[in-house]
Structure 1
């Protein structure tokens, strides 16, 4: 299986919080890269998914496994999926600024 386009950009916010900005599609072919990127960031991580066009069950599994230490920023495309899956009951899910 050929991995689909996925870009992972780790950084720190002004207050030192870990931020991982994700763009592209998250599926079975590349969910391991997302897991590795999250695991390399210590402590609480804000995960910006506003640039994600597709998220399948493999990607959701990565998020569920790390629910105790993540917070998610998602646009109107992903928020319903995060709610229906139950992830929004476990982690803070907030809209992107200005949306």
Structure 2
């Protein structure tokens, strides 16, 4: 009989006690947190790579083809379910009353 390999994780070591908050008094204030957030946003924006024109056209074509395919699938399902509902509930009634 094989024994399951169980590893000890931080969650299993904690034994249900909540994590302690940092003992640092105060910490960054409201405006300090906003400034940190803005610095992080600027740092992430510097990592962004702008696609070339060829890549952009390729990505656009892939998205448009995918949207057309999904549109076709949804159309077929809609027509199929519509026909099924009319067949089940008797769609021969005159709706122009």
Larger relative strand fraction: 1
Report the TM-score when normalising by structure 1. Answer: 0.18
Structure with bigger gyration radius: 2
Report the TM-score when normalising by structure 2. Answer: 0.18
Larger relative helix fraction: 2
